[in-house]
Structure 1
Amino acid sequence: MKRRIAALLLALLATQLGSLISPAYACGCGAMVPYGQSRIGVDRETSAVRWDGRTEQIVMRFVVRGDADRAAWIMPVPARATVQLGDGRLFDELAEQTRPQHRTRHYFWPRNKDWPFSSSQGDAVGAAPPTARAPGVGVVGREQLGDFDVARLTATDPDALKNWLESNGFTLPDRLATEVKPYVDQKWEYVAVRLAPREPGKKLSGQLDPLRIGFDSDRLVYPMRLSRMAKTPQSLGLYVLAEHRMEPVSRIGGSAPEVTFAGTVTPAGGRLAELTGGKPVFLTAIDQEFPEPGRIDADHELRATAKDTAYRRTVYHDELLTVGGGVPVWLLTVSAALVLLAVPGVIVIRRRRRRRPRPRQAPTPETA
């Protein structure tokens, strides 16, 4: 009996340990996996997409967490791609362009933080692995970009793609062959990236350097299907730069996309002007959440909306309505109302006093 209990406890312990050290596949717009028994997850993916009707440029940046010092990432692309390092200052410029407008909204009656309810008025990578050949895979380019070892591949067979990646140091899950088959059938190509910081002991954590990927495309597509392999909820932010306001054709298994900005921008300089050629473009900022990544069933395809309606998010700051250097209007109003209510009573009392008869005086002996 004791042996059975011990065996059961060991089995439960092994199950728990297995769940702790299993790889965390997480990434929007591709698949990211750690090496060995380390862990890595993508908390936030932000991308700027420039589409002129013929070519597409994607500058993407990940915020990751975990203890991995190496990881692999793969992204399908519909045509031959170019890859180069991006510049994080681009996202600073986009954030400035899309910042919300702030407005003050006054309220009349006091709230919890106002007197008399409260006395406070304030708001409260190492060297690149050797290249190996595998049947069905073509290597169209390979380069070292900072901490990224980038390989651009073609593949006519999903298993061959998986074998090539693994033979070159990319340890990917068994599901990959099944997940990439639709891309193989459509004759898409791939960007495979090995993330390995050159600084010894450095972990892949926080905000990674952005990558810029370009390819020909007569439709605006943002690859997302491989994100279904993620084990944790995903968050996506898209800055879409095109001739018109753009919208996703469908939710592809996520929450309803939220537009946080829409309007024409004219870059005067900087990284945004470099991406757009300095020409006026319509910028659409979209946020979307994927609470259950396994429900993602397609890539994002975006289309022009019926009208180029401008939109900027508004942040309201509620303040108590005051006059004369901070005197609450409600207090003046209540005081005035009390005075007005008291005036009729005072008048009535005075009138009653005037009408009250004076007491007669008794005659004195001299006048009797």
Structure 2
Amino acid sequence: MKRRILALLFALLTTQIAALVSPAYACGCGAMVPDGGSRIGVDRESSVVRWDGRTEEIVMRFTVGGDARRAAWIMPVPGRASVELGNPALFPQLADLTRPERRTRTYFWPRGTDWPFSSGSSDGVGAALPGAGAPVGVVGRERLGDFDVARLTATDPEALRTWLRDNGFELPERLAAELKPYVDQKWEYVAVRLAPREQGRTLRGELEPLRIRFDSARLVYPMRLSRLARTPQSLGLYVLAGHRMEPRSAIGGAVPEVTFAGTVSPGGALGELTGGEPVFLTAIEQRFPDPSRIDGDHELRATAEDTPYRRAVYRNELLTAGGVPVWLLTVGGVLAAAVAAAVLLVVRGRRPSRSGRPENRVDLRERS
């Protein structure tokens, strides 16, 4: 009996601990792989997508933890890409623009933290261009801050995986199979190796953002390689376009949730990305409890209407009037009215009846 109880308590404790573990954030590259003998975790990956109908830009920023000194990932793109460092001020600006609206919601009857139930208060490096027919072509390779970036073409997924491995880009063993759909569609690739210039420094905290630009007639966010991830994933996406945008499908994850939608007049880092013109901003969040079910890339389309939306966070507050709880005024008023009615009934009950007394009437006509 004691063993059963201990087993039950252990199972409950394990369930509670698992519920407190936050999922990793989805990166279109799939799992970020560190150098041998070390570990790395992507605590958060934030992406901004800007699309004007012809050109797409993706700005990505990773927040990582662990003890790795090097790591790598790969981003498939539908066209020839250019890569540069992004402005780190972009993400705080977008977070501020999409911050939930704080509202107060009142309630009538007192709750556990209100009087009389409680007396306390509570607050709530350069390279040659690809040769003709080469299975892997190097479009360009450059050093950008702590990033070693290679822009590649490929006609053979296995040759691409081998090139990446031989050039210091350690990536998942299953990568070749997952890259085949992109090779068949003649996509290109941005391979990134995170290697700090400072010797011995580990990859921790917020990394510099990367800005990737390429031509695209449709707004697409690569996600298929996230199938390689071994833990639940979450996607946070800021979409800047001419209209409110939505994913065409859930691609194997939970239903995408819009957390903000509205036209913004950008300045600062956002203005640099959009050219200073007003743009419609859609913020989307999505969870992927089982990454192996991801069956494609996110393709986004304009919604039927540009309906604005801002998420609201409510603060519950006891309804008062002049600092006095309305429930107390109401109850006091009802009690006062009841007492007054009772007193009136008592007074009327003690008043003598007029019908029991003789009436002395004087007829003035008889006296005259």
Q: Same fold (TM over 0.5)?
A: yes
Q: Is the 8 A contact 1:83 1:211 kept in 2?
A: yes
Q: Which moved more, 1:183-192 or 1:112-121?
A: 112-121
Is 1:338 matched up with 2:304? no
Aligned amino acid, residue 334 of structure 1: V
Q: Is the 8 A contact 2:126 2:141 kept in 1?
A: no
In structure 2, what is the equivalent of residue 313 of structure 1? 311
Q: How does 1:286-297 map to 2 (within 5 A)?
A: 286-297=284-295
Aligned mate of 2:345, from 333, 345, 348: 348
Gaps of 5+ in 2: 1-23, 354-368
Aligned amino acid, residue 102 of structure 2: H
Distance between the aligned counterparts of 1:130 and 1:48, measured in 2? 29
Q: Secondary structure at the match of 2:270?
A: helix
Q: CA offset at residue 145 of structure 1? A: 0.6
Aligned amino acid, residue 90 of structure 1: L
CA displacement 1:211-230 (0-9 Å, x = unmatched): 10000000000000000100
Q: Secondary structure at the match of 2:27?
A: coil
Q: CA offset at residue 353 of structure 1? A: 4.0
Q: Secondary structure at the match of 2:272?
A: helix
Q: Secondary structure at the match of 2:235?
A: strand
Is 1:285 matched up with 2:283? yes
Q: Is the 8 A contact 2:127 2:139 kept in 1?
A: no
Q: Secondary structure at the match of 1:111?
A: coil
Q: Is the 8 A contact 2:26 2:234 kept in 1?
A: no
In structure 2, what is the equivalent of residue 221 of structure 1? 220
Gaps of 5+ in 1: 1-24, 357-368
Distance between the aligned counterparts of 1:336 and 1:26, measured in 2? 56
CA displacement 1:287-338 (0-9 Å, x = unmatched): 11111111111000000111111111122222111112x2111111111111
In structure 2, what is the equivalent of residue 323 of structure 1? 321
Q: How does 1:14-53 map to 2 (within 5 A)?
A: 27-31=26-30, 32-53=32-53
Q: Between Structure 1 and Structure 2, how many residues are aligned?
A: 326
Q: CA offset at residue 140 of structure 1? A: 0.7
Q: Is the 8 A contact 1:26 1:232 kept in 2?
A: no
CA displacement 1:187-234 (0-9 Å, x = unmatched): 111101110122333222232211100000000000000001001111
Q: How does 1:117-132 map to 2 (within 5 A)?
A: 117-124=117-124
Aligned amino acid, residue 335 of structure 1: G
Q: Is the 8 A contact 1:27 1:41 kept in 2?
A: no
Residue 84 and residue 130 in structure 1: after superposition, are their counterparts in 2 closer, same or farther (change >3 A)? closer
Q: How does 1:1-368 map to 2 (within 5 A)?
A: 27-31=26-30, 32-124=32-124, 136-267=135-266, 269-324=267-322, 326-355=323-352
Q: CA offset at residue 87 of structure 1? A: 1.4
CA displacement 1:2-44 (0-9 Å, x = unmatched): xxxxxxxxxxxxxxxxxxxxxxx98521031111021222232
Q: Is the 8 A contact 2:28 2:75 kept in 1?
A: yes
Q: CA offset at residue 144 of structure 1? A: 0.6
Q: CA offset at residue 117 of structure 1? A: 1.2
Distance between the aligned counterparts of 1:222 and 1:322, measured in 2? 50
Q: Is the 8 A contact 1:321 1:328 kept in 2?
A: yes
Aligned amino acid, residue 297 of structure 1: D
Distance between the aligned counterparts of 2:246 and 2:187, measured in 1? 23
Residue 38 and residue 187 in structure 1: after superposition, are their counterparts in 2 closer, same or farther (change >3 A)? same
In structure 2, what is the equivalent of residue 16 of structure 1? none
> TM-score under structure 2 normalisation?
0.84
User: What is the root-mean-square deviation in Å for CA atoms of aligned residues?
Assistant: 2.1
Q: Is the 8 A contact 1:58 1:214 kept in 2?
A: yes
Distance between the aligned counterparts of 2:234 and 2:66, measured in 1? 17
Aligned amino acid, residue 35 of structure 2: Y
In structure 1, what is the equivalent of residue 366 of structure 2? none
> TM-score under structure 1 normalisation?
0.84
Q: Secondary structure at the match of 1:105?
A: strand
Distance between the aligned counterparts of 1:27 and 1:248, measured in 2? 15
Residue 26 and residue 240 in structure 1: after superposition, are their counterparts in 2 closer, same or farther (change >3 A)? closer
Aligned amino acid, residue 70 of structure 2: R
Q: Is the 8 A contact 1:137 1:157 kept in 2?
A: yes
Residue 43 and residue 129 in structure 1: after superposition, are their counterparts in 2 closer, same or farther (change >3 A)? farther
Q: CA offset at residue 344 of structure 1? A: 2.2
Distance between the aligned counterparts of 1:189 and 1:272, measured in 2? 27
Q: CA offset at residue 243 of structure 1? A: 0.8
Q: CA offset at residue 129 of structure 1? A: 12
